[in-house]
Amino acid sequence: MMKALVYLFIFFAPFSFVKASILQDSSALADSTTLVKNQPDSITRKVVALLVDARELSLEKPLEAVKSYRSALITNKVKDEIWEADIRLEMGKLLAEVKNKEALPQLLKANALYKKKANLQGRANALTEISKLYESSGQFTLALNNYNELYKILNKLGESVLAGNVASHLTDVFIKKQKYVEAFHYADLAKSAYYKVCRKDSLGSIYYKIAHIKKKVNSPKLAEYYILNQALSYYRSSNDMDGRLKSFDFLGHLYQDQKRYSQAKWFYLQANNQSRLSNDTASIVTSLINLGLVKVLIGDLSLAKQDIDEAELIIKGDSSYAPLMKEAKVKHAALFKQLNTVASATKEKSKKNVKAKSPVKAAEKKASGSTKSTSNTILVDTEKKEKEAPIQKKTKGR
């Protein structure tokens, strides 16, 4: 019964890293069950109860869960290093959640125990947590060393996608730091890892990042190549709609920067079509703004106004998208000024046309003319009667 309880606890205690879970291998599980040997059942029962309590408390009361884990470590008299490493790993993760300074020592101890027993899966879990902790605390050099070690271990385990994810994360970090040589190095590592398992969506994503790097180092031709011939191809084959939309937008900006406005317009149109297919309202607004601005550059001001007006209409219906227009107006103030000048001229001309052709004014004018004509007729008739009256009178007198 005791052995069954211990197995139950261990099998349902997953250890996660890089968006995936890796359970301990069968030999490690077998080793962990040694805690039921060479000690009274009462102690084993108490240890299992503490572990169950810890699991139940971990979500809502992490510090209480840590206390239960500590008690389990102290109560258990059997020296099982893998079992102890598992417990310390869980403690470290919980302490990291509440930003407790004891998190790192627990994780480092877990990693050391896993390393001693040559347990690669355990090390991968521990190194993931250690790397994230160092990175979040601003100790990037230490984080990088651990990420590099993690990448190697994941490759040894045959976890190519997870290894690629680690390298892809480091690519993002170095792009943000504007260290493009390092960013390209890790992008290349990620690409190699994803190729091993032909992970198409991930390959599309990493080629997009490579194109971004090439754009930043003033290699627009290479940036164009990586999007058109690599990223879009993988996004299309993996049916990644967001990736395709992102690529169309990227190419639009790339061509606009090179003053190749016709090509930019075409890709902004593709982005607009893709965003409508995906029902992505934010992207619809963004693509309309981009279309409008590139049309201003081309000189199609009336068409540009239609795109901007449509974007404004969407924003009017949902003000949460207003920052997109506000940002564009700040960034491209000169282009919006051109558009506003044309809009004002069109509005003024429209007012004049309305004033000249207003049916109310015309009716009033016609009515006024008719009244005047009637008045004149009455006046003429009156004068005529007055002139004829004496004649009639004289005739009668005759």
What is the SS3 string spanning the chain?
Answer: CHHHHHHHHHHCCCCEECCEECCCCHHHHHHHHHHHCCCCHHHHHHHHHHHHHHHHHCCCCHHHHHHHHHHHHHHCCCCCHHHHHHHHHHHHHHHHHCCCCCHHHHHHHHHHHHHHCCCHHHHHHHHHHHHHHHHHCCCHHHHHHHHHHHHHHHHHCCCHHHHHHHHHHHHHHHHHCCCHHHHHHHHHHHHHHHHHHCCHHHHHHHHHHHHHHHHHCCCHHHHHHHHHHHHHHHHHHCCCHHHHHHHHHHHHHHHHHCCCHHHHHHHHHHHHHHHHHCCCHHHHHHHHHHHHHHHHHHCCHHHHHHHHHHHHHHHHHCHHHHHHHHHHHHHCHHHHHHHHHHHHHHHHHHHHHHHHHCHHHHHHHHHHHHHHHHHHHHHHHHHHHHHHHHHHHHHHHC
Question: How much is the mean pLDDT over the chain?
Answer: 82
Q: What pLDDT score does 78 carry?
A: 75
Question: What is the share, in percent, of the chain residues with pLDDT greater than 70?
Answer: 76
Q: What pLDDT score does 346 carry?
A: 59
Q: Can you tell me the mean pLDDT for 95-108?
A: 95
Q: What pLDDT score does 77 carry?
A: 77
Q: What pLDDT score does 355 carry?
A: 57
Comparison of pLDDT for 44 and 129, the residue scoring more = 129
Q: How far is CA 90 from CA 2, 24, 107, in A?
A: 22, 14, 9
| Per-residue pLDDT tens over the stretch 133-159 | 999 999 999 999 999 999 999 999 999
| Per-residue pLDDT tens over the stretch 196-224 | 999 999 999 999 999 999 999 999 999 99
Is pLDDT at 358 greater than 80 in this prediction? no
Is pLDDT at 61 greater than 80 in this prediction? yes
Matching residue, tokens 């282009």: 335
Equal fold, 1-157 vs 247-346: yes
- Spatial neighbors of 263 by CB under 8 A, at least 6 apart, are 251, 255
Q: What pLDDT score does 341 carry?
A: 77
CATH number 3.40.930.10 is the correct assignment for the domain at 247-346: no
| Per-residue pLDDT tens over the stretch 9-46 | 443 343 333 433 333 333 333 344 445 455 667 788 88
Residue 23 DSSP symbol: P
Q: How far apart are CA 198 and CA 27, in angstroms?
A: 31
Q: How far apart are CA 273 and CA 166, in angstroms?
A: 33
Which of the following CATH numbers is that of domain 169-239: 3.30.960, 2.60.40, 1.10.260, 1.25.40?
1.25.40
Matching residue, tokens 């040589």: 181
Which stretch, 15-19, 189-193, 332-336, 357-361, has highest mean pLDDT?
189-193
* Superfamily of segment(s) 1-157: Tetratricopeptide repeat domain (1.25.40.10)
Is pLDDT at 371 greater than 90 in this prediction? no
Comparison of pLDDT for 109 and 339, the residue scoring more = 109
Q: What pLDDT score does 48 carry?
A: 87
> Considering the entire predicted model, what is its pTM?
0.76
Q: What pLDDT score does 265 carry?
A: 97
Q: What pLDDT score does 262 carry?
A: 96
Q: Can you tell me the mean pLDDT for 356-373?
A: 50
CB 298 within 8 A of CB 269: no
Tokens of 9: 């606890």
Is pLDDT at 195 greater than 90 in this prediction? yes
| Per-residue pLDDT tens over the stretch 277-294 | 999 999 999 999 999 999
Comparison of pLDDT for 51 and 161, the residue scoring more = 161
Q: How far is CA 142 from CA 99, 116, 130, 174, 235, in A?
A: 18, 21, 9, 15, 34
Domain ranges of the chain: 1-157, 169-239, 247-346
- pLDDT classification of 350: cutoffs 50, 70, 90: low
Q: What pLDDT score does 272 carry?
A: 97
Q: In terms of Cα–Cα distance, which of 183, 184, 205 is closest to 194?
A: 205
Is pLDDT at 170 greater than 90 in this prediction? yes
How many CB atoms neighbour CB 13 within 10 A? 17
Within its chain, how far is the Cα of 160 from the centroid? 25
Q: How far apart are CA 220 and CA 210, in angstroms?
A: 12
Q: In terms of Cα–Cα distance, which of 309, 242, 295 is closest to 264?
A: 295
